[in-house]
Amino acid sequence: MPTRRRDNQTAPLWIEAGEDKSTPLISVAPAAPIDKIYTYTATLELLEQLRIGQRVSVPFGRKGTPSPAYVVAIEQGTWNSTLKPITEILDPAGNLSNHLLELGKWIARYYCCPLGRTLSAMIPQVVRKQSGFVTQRFISLAATADTIADHRLGAKQQTILQELMKEQAHLQAADLLKRAAASRATLKSLLKRGLIVETISKALPKDLECPYPRNEPDFQLNVSQKEALAHITDVLCSQEFRVILLYGRSGSGKTEVYVRAIRRVLAAGKQAIMLVPEIALTTQLMQRLAERFDHVAVIHSGLTGVQRSLAWERIRNRDIHVVIGTRSAVFAPCPDLGLIVVDEEQEPSYKNLRSPRFHVRDVAIKRAHLLNIPIILGSATPSLETWHNAHHHRAYTCVTLPSRVKSLPMPSVRLIDMRNEPSAALGATISRQLAEALRETLAKKQQAVILLNRRGFASWLFCPRCKMRIQCHRCNACMVLHLAQNRIRCHQCNLSEPIPIHCPDHSCRGKLVHGGGGTEKIEQQLHTCFPDARVLRADSDTMTHARKYRHLVNAFENRELDILIGTQMIAKGLDFPNVSLVGVIGAEPPAALSDFRANERLFQLVTQVAGRAGRADATGLVIVQSMNVDSPALRHAVHHDFDSFAAVELPRRQAMHFPPFTRLTRFILAGPREGDVMEQARCLADRLKQHIAETAQPDCVVLGPHPCVMERAKNMYRYELLLRAASASAMLSVLDSARHDGALRVNVKSFVLDVDPLSLS
C-alpha cells in the first residue's frame, strides 16, 4: 500500500483517515500543443472560483514547471497521492457554457487539434483578460466586535469599521473612503491587520452607447421573399435543427430575408448570430446590416481588444441580441441562441488557416445541431458540398429566390476566345472587344471594372539563350516582375531583389525577356490606350491598408475614377450603381488536377463579378477573356446557370472520388532535408494504412506521399499525402485510432494536418 501523504496543498482537509477519498478532480487541457488531458486537484478556496474554460497555471512535467492550461471538467473522483494542485487562476474570465465546450470538443476531435489549442482559439485573449472592464473593489468586515476591541485603532480606522458594521454588507471601497473621509492608507492598515477583506471584481463600464443609428428601408417583401420567409418561420416555430439553404442570385433580396428571420427570433426573446465572410469591404457591409437592429454587436478583425472584450461580455449577459461578424463570431457566447445565418456560405475565407483548421460554416452547423436550432446558409453559388447536402440530406431544405428584386435583368456575359487574339501569346492583355467596350463605356461616362487575379507586371523572366527561368532561390517559384516597385518578387516567400537584366549564369549572361503579366501590365496598357481615363489599380501591392480601400470605394462611388483594375479583392461585396462594364482577364480553368475546386472557384468568380455589373439602372455587360472558352464552368457562368454547372461538375467529382462524394484529410510535411521529409511522409502513410486495416474501413485509402505542387518553399522541401474516406465517420474513426496511438506524430520542421482541405495546391 502506498503511504498516504497529506498536507493542505495536495489533499482537501475534509477527508479524514478511513473516509471516502472522493474529491473534486479538475481536468485540464494544456495550452501547449500537447494532445492530452491531465488531472489536478485544487484547494477549497480556488475551487470556489474555478470555472470551465478558465485559463489556469498548473505544475507540469517532472520538474513541476508552471504551465498554462484550460479547465475542461470538474468532477468528483478518487483522490490519490500523485495528484498535484492547480497553482493559480490566470484569467478569471473565459468560462464556457456547456454547449460551447461541447462544440470545442467536437472541433478538437474532428479537426485533429489539441483541445487546449482549440479552446484558446475559441475565446479571444482580450476576453479572458476582461480588457476594458472597470475594476470594482468591495470591502467587508472580517472581524467581530470583540476582536476589533482587542486592537488599538485610530479615529479614521474606527469610523471605517463603524460604517461597515452599520451596513452589515460590503461597500465599494471608494464609497466607504468618502463616507469615512479616510485615505487608502487607512484602509490598507486595516487590511493588513485582517479586520477587513477586500474583494476585487470586474464589471462592464456603464453607459455603453449603440453606435448604429436605426435606418429602415421602406419597401414590402416581394412574393418569393415572403414565401421564403414563411418557410423559414415554419422551421423556426418547429424549434428543431434544420439547415435551410437560401439560394438566390445576387440582388435577389436574400439579405432582406435574413433580417426579417432574425427579427422573428428576437421577438421570441432569443439571440441570433449572422456570419459574413472576411473581405475588404466587410466592415461597411456589416454596419449597413447593424442599422437594422437594436442591441447589435459587430465583430470583425478591426475591433480593438477593449471593444471585443466588452462586446463578448454584453453578448453573454444578454445585453446584445444580434451578433454580426466574421469568423470568430461563430463562438459568440450567446446564452439564448435561436438562429445562425451564414451569408455567402461558399466563401473560402470561412476556412481557418491556422490550427484548428476549422470551416466556420461547418462549425456553425454543428453549433446549431448541438442547440437544436435552425441555421440558414445563403448563397448565389452554393458550395457543391452544401448543394449536394441540400438535395440528399434529411436535415436540409433548399429555399429559392428565383429572380432579382425590381426585376433587373442579369447583365449579359460575353466570352472572348483568346486563342484568336494575336497579342495573347505575350501574356495578359486586353482583347480588341474589351478595348472597344471600354471605349464605349468611357464615352457614355459610365464606369468599368477589370479583374485579373495576378499581381505584378510580368509573371516570369526567361533567358532565351540557356532556356532558364529566374526562380526564387528559396522556393520553386518564378520571380514576378513588379515595375512599380522596381523589383522582382517571390509570391511564395516575398523575397525581393533588384531587376536583373542578364542571365545570372556567368557563363551565359544572355539578355532576359519577360512575359505573362498581371494587374500592373494591364494598368499600363490602359494608360496607353486611354490616356484621358482615370485608372486605379487595387491589389494587395497598392491596397496596403483598409483605409486606402475605403478611400478607393468612396472615390469610385463619387465617380472620381473611370476604370478600376484589380485582383479578386474587388470582386466581392462591391455595389456600384454606375458600373456598366466588367472585364475578366485570364479566366482559365486549371491546367492540372491539383486543385479539385478550381472549376467551382472559376464559376463563382465569373458569376460574382457578373453580379457587380448592372446592379442598378445601367444594364451591364461582362466580358470574360479565356484561352479555354469551352470549359463548362465558363459556359454556364455566362448564363448565370448554377444548376447546370452543378449538374456537370458533381458527376465529375464523383468519378474522380472527390468531395462531396468523399472526405479528404491532407497532411503536409516540410523540412530542410528532402530525404528526411520523404522518409517521415512514407512512415506516416504506412501508419495510416495500418490504422485503416485495424479499424476495418475498407473504403479509406492513403494517396501519396508525393511532392507538393510547390515542391520547395522558404528553403524547405514539401511532401504531402492524402487520406481519402467514403464518409466523415469512416475518416474520423481512422484519424481517432491513429491519433490515440500517437501515429500522427511526425518528426519534421513543419507539419500541417488539414481536414476537409479547401484546395490541394
Q: Which residues bind ligand ADP (CB under 6 A)?
A: 217, 219, 221-222, 225, 248, 250-256, 405
C-beta of 381: minimal distance to ligand ADP in Å?
12
Binder of residue 85, out of ligand ADP, Zn ion, none (CB less than 5 to 8 A by kind): none
Nearer to Zn ion, 480 or 722 (CB): 480
Q: How far is the CB of 221 from ligand ADP (least distance, A)?
A: 5
Residue 391: CB minimum distance to ligand ADP, A? 21
Pairwise CA distance, residues 626 & 416, whole Å: 6
Contact in structure between 613 and 621 (CB atoms under 8 Å): yes
361 Cα distance to chain centroid: 10
Min. distance of Cβ 522 from ligand ADP in angstroms? 28
Spatial contact of 254 and 401, defined as CB atoms under 8 Å apart: yes
Nearer to ligand ADP, 260 or 635 (CB): 260
Q: What's the min distance (Å) between Cβ of 569 and Zn ion?
A: 22
CB 89 within 8 A of CB 43: no
Cα separation, 257 vs 710, whole angstroms:
43
Q: In angstroms, give the least distance from the CB of 614 to ligand ADP.
A: 13
Phi and psi torsions of 649, nearest 5°: -75, -35
Whole-angstrom distance, CA of residue 559 vs CA of residue 574? 14
Site for Zn ion contains 710 (CB under 5 A): no
Which is nearer to ligand ADP, 323 or 341 (by Cβ)?
341
Residue 488 interacting with Zn ion (CB under 5 A): no
Buried b / exposed e over 260-283, threshold 16 CB at 10 Å, is: bbbbbbbeeebbbbbbbbbbbbbb
CA 308 to chain centre: 16
700 contact, one of Zn ion, ligand ADP, none, CB 5-8 Å limit per kind:
none
CB 411 within 8 A of CB 618: no
> Which residue's CB is nearer to Zn ion, number 72 or number 478?
478
* Closer residue to ligand ADP, CB minimum distance, 255 or 271: 255
Q: Is 71 in the site for Zn ion (CB under 5 A)?
A: no
Q: Is 668 in the site for Zn ion (CB under 5 A)?
A: no
Residue with Cβ nearer ligand ADP (341 or 721) = 341
CA distance 477 to 761: 13
Q: Residue 461's binding partner, choosing from Zn ion, ligand ADP, none, with beta-carbon cut-off 5 to 8 A by kind?
A: none
DSSP characters for 104-116? Answer: HHHHHHHTT--HH
List alpha helices for 268-418, DSSP H. Answer: 282-290, 305-316, 360-371, 384-392
Query: DSSP assignment, residue 423?
Result: G
Do 107 and 116 meet the contact criterion of CB atoms below 8 Å apart? no
Q: Decide which of Zn ion, ligand ADP, none touches 472; Cβ closer than 5 to 8 Å per partner kind.
A: Zn ion
What minimum distance in Å lies between the beta carbon of 255 and ligand ADP?
Answer: 3
Q: d(Cα 214, Cα 392) in Å, to the nearest integer?
A: 41
| Contacted by 422, from Zn ion, ligand ADP, none: CB < 5 to 8 Å by type | none
CB-based burial label for 467 (10 Å; 0-12, 13-18, 19+): exposed
Tell me which of ligand ADP, Zn ion, none is bound by residue 2, counting a contact when its beta carbon lies within the kind-specific cut-off of 5 to 8 angstroms.
Answer: none
CA-based nearest residue to 129, from 269, 313, 272, 292: 313
Instruction: Name the minimum Å distance from CB 717 to Zn ion.
Output: 13
Partner in contact with 397, chosen from Zn ion, ligand ADP, none, beta carbon below 5 to 8 Å by kind: none
Bond into 277 cis (ω within 30): no
Contact of residue 219 among Zn ion, ligand ADP, none (CB under 5-8 Å per partner type):
ligand ADP
- The reply on whether position 474 binds Zn ion by CB under 5 A is yes
Which strands form 412-417's sheet, in the order they lie side by side?
A: 412-417, 621-626, 579-585, 447-452, 563-566, 535-538
Q: What's the closest the beta carbon of residue 330 comes to ligand ADP, in angstroms?
A: 20
Q: Which does 412 bind (CB under 5 to 8 A by kind): ligand ADP, Zn ion, none?
A: none
How far is residue 371's CA from residue 241's CA, in Å, rounded to a whole number?
Answer: 8
Which residue number, 52 or 461, has a Cβ lying nearer to Zn ion?
Answer: 461
Which does residue 255 bind out of Zn ion, ligand ADP, none, counting CB within 5 to 8 angstroms by kind? Answer: ligand ADP
Q: Which does 410 bind (CB under 5 to 8 A by kind): Zn ion, ligand ADP, none?
A: none
Amino acid at 737: S
Give me the least distance between CB of 225 and ligand ADP, in Å please: 6
Beta carbon of residue 480, minimum distance to Zn ion (angstroms, whole number): 10
472 binds Zn ion (CB under 5 A): yes
- Is residue 492 a contact point for Zn ion (CB under 5 A)? yes
Residue 256 touches which of ligand ADP, Zn ion, none (CB < 5 to 8 A by kind)? Answer: ligand ADP
Residues 584, 599 contacting (CB under 8 angstroms): no
Peptide bond before residue 124 is cis, with ω within 30 degrees of 0:
no
* Contact window for Zn ion (CB under 5 A) among 69-77, 338-346, 489-497, 638-646: 489-497
Task: Choose the one of Zn ion, ligand ADP, none that binds residue 490, judging by a C-beta under 5 to 8 angstroms depending on kind.
Answer: Zn ion
Beta carbon nearer to Zn ion, 42 or 472? 472
- To ligand ADP, the closest distance from the beta carbon of 646 in angstroms equals 19
495 binds Zn ion (CB under 5 A): yes
Exposure b/e, 174-190, CB count within 10 A at least 16 = b: eebbebbebeeebbeeb
Size, binding site for Zn ion by CB under 5 A: 7
Q: Is 490 in the site for Zn ion (CB under 5 A)?
A: yes
CA dihedral over 172, 174, 180, 184, signed as positive or negative = positive
Please say which residue, 161 or 458, places its beta carbon nearer to Zn ion.
Answer: 458
Minimum Å gap between C-beta 378 and ligand ADP is: 7
Report the alpha-carbon angle 21-22-27, nearest 5: 125
Residue 325 interaction partner, one of Zn ion, ligand ADP, none, beta carbon < 5-8 Å per kind: none
Q: Min. distance of Cβ 384 from ligand ADP in angstroms?
A: 20
Nearer CB in complex with Zn ion: 33/672: 672
The residue whose Cβ lies closest to ligand ADP is: 255
**Residue 435 engages Zn ion in binding (rule: CB under 5 A):** no
- On whether the CB atoms of residues 115 and 108 are closer than 8 A, the answer is yes
**C-alpha to C-alpha distance for 697 and 699, rounded to whole angstroms:** 5
DSSP for 704-761?
EEEEEEEEEETTEEEEEEEEEESSHHHHHHHHHHHHHTTTT---SSEEEEEES-S---
* Comparison of 390 and 472: residue with beta carbon closer to Zn ion: 472
Q: Which residues bind Zn ion (CB under 5 A)?
A: 472, 474-475, 490, 492-493, 495
